[in-house]
Amino acid sequence: MKIYIDGKFYPKEMAKVSVFDHGYLYGDGIYETLRAYGGKVFKLDEHIARLKQSASLMEMTLPLDDNGFVKAITDTIRENALGDAYVRITVSRGEGEIGLDPALCPKPTLVIIAKEFKDYPSEMREQGIRVTVTKTRRNHPECIDPAIKSTNFLNNIFAKVEAKKAGSHEGIMLNHSGFVAEGTVSNVFIVRRGALLTPPVLSGILVGVTRSVVMGLAAAMGVEASEEPFTEIEMRQADEVFITNTTMEVMPVTVVDGTKVADGRPGALTKKLSAAYTEEVARCLKAH
């Protein structure tokens, strides 16, 4: 495995950043997770745009422009001779003296990791997964802007630990008002009387790239799709539940807190959207 660090490639064993890097010291950084199919990254422009948004909200200067990021990502995939790949971009504040002031770091550190993508077990998609509503709540948006895809992930880690202890694949966090916000690494959708619902931005969520694709696909199908707050009780009583992210795509949820969702099997709309997502990936990559 070859790791991209600030314009150069290093073998995995030699890929290192400074212990004085503020990403290591304070979690002062941002990241994006991407997925490549046949060597081509799906929705690359959208991921770069979100990385730029995170950097702007963090008042961080990115080390590359759009074209530079495209080249660096493409080169990293090619350098590792990958087709279907998981790609992680991390940009930290960079190396600097100990202290919270961002001005202590003269330049950011850019790391790109690309590795072979191994899909989730087929039974997860066929049978659905278990989720747990955690006691850990999503950070209040007035504390940390959820639009920042930050490497400061302790909130999500606490929720993930809860979910794992409960024997679930994912933890679902509520916001400060008690409404469903998002998963530890996913956006949440429910289906109610044929309509698709997902928490709005004001619920304190990070707007996922996959979430946006799914909303567009639903609209194209003529499915009523809206951003509305809903409670954990409404989620348990929904006709269908699924979660989305770059690697899972559309993942059915069939058990919430030990209770079956409807008949305990992936729902019809979930399956339809999952198939449409696969078709959209193929269509977009063929066009590029």
The CATH number linked to 97 is: 3.30.470.10
Question: In percent, how much of the chain has pLDDT > 90?
Answer: 99
Do 85 and 36 lie in one domain? The reply is yes
* pLDDT above 80 for 161: yes
Single residue among 67, 83, 116 that ends a domain in this structure: 116
Residue pLDDT, tens place only, 6-65? 999 999 999 999 999 999 999 999 999 999 999 999 999 999 999 999 999 999 999 999
Cβ contact 187:196 at 8 Å = no
Single residue among 72, 97, 116 that ends a domain in this structure: 116
* pLDDT above 80 for 288: no
Do 99 and 138 lie in one domain? The reply is no
Q: What is the distance between the alpha carbons of residues 197 and 157, in angstroms, rounded to a whole number?
A: 26
Task: Categorize the per-residue pLDDT at 286 as very low, low, confident or very high, splitting at 50, 70 and 90.
Answer: confident
Q: What is the distance between the alpha carbons of residues 28 and 19, in angstroms, rounded to a whole number?
A: 13
Q: What is the distance between the alpha carbons of residues 60 and 40, in angstroms, rounded to a whole number?
A: 28
Do 154 and 194 lie in one domain? The reply is yes
Predicted confidence at residue 287, as pLDDT, reads: 81
**Region 109-136: what's the mean pLDDT?**
96
Do 177 and 72 lie in one domain? The reply is no
* pLDDT above 90 for 252: yes
User: How much is the mean pLDDT over the chain?
Assistant: 97
Do 177 and 213 lie in one domain? The reply is yes
Single residue among 116, 136, 159 that ends a domain in this structure: 116
Whole-angstrom CA distances from 246 to 26, 80, 82, 185, 277 are 26, 20, 17, 9, 11
Do 98 and 167 lie in one domain? The reply is no
CATH code at position 171: 3.20.10.10
Do 144 and 264 lie in one domain? The reply is yes
Q: What is the distance between the alpha carbons of residues 129 and 174, in angstroms, rounded to a whole number?
A: 19
The tokens describing 39, both together, are 């060597």
| pTM score, whole prediction | 0.95
What DSSP element (H or E) covers 40?
strand 40-41
CB atoms within 10 A of CB 180: 26
**Region 84-106: what's the mean pLDDT?**
98
Do 92 and 40 lie in one domain? The reply is yes
* Residue 288 burial by Cβ neighbours in a 10 Å radius (0-12, 13-18, 19+): exposed
Cβ contact 176:144 at 8 Å = no
Q: Which of 2, 43, 149, 160 is catalytic?
A: 149
Handedness of CA 14, 19, 20, 21 (dihedral sign): positive
Q: Which of 165, 205, 212 is nearest to 185 (CA)?
A: 205
Do 128 and 178 lie in one domain? The reply is yes
Full residue range of the structural domain in which residue 31 is found? 2-116
Do 183 and 261 lie in one domain? The reply is yes
Cβ contact 86:247 at 8 Å = yes
Domain count, the chain: 2
CB atoms within 10 A of CB 11: 9
Catalytic, 149? Answer yes
Strand pairing partners for 22? Answer: none
| Residues composing the chain | 288
Do 23 and 69 lie in one domain? The reply is yes
Strand pairing partners for 260? Answer: 255
Predicted confidence at residue 131, as pLDDT, reads: 98
Do 74 and 21 lie in one domain? The reply is yes
The tokens describing 134, both together, are 């955690």
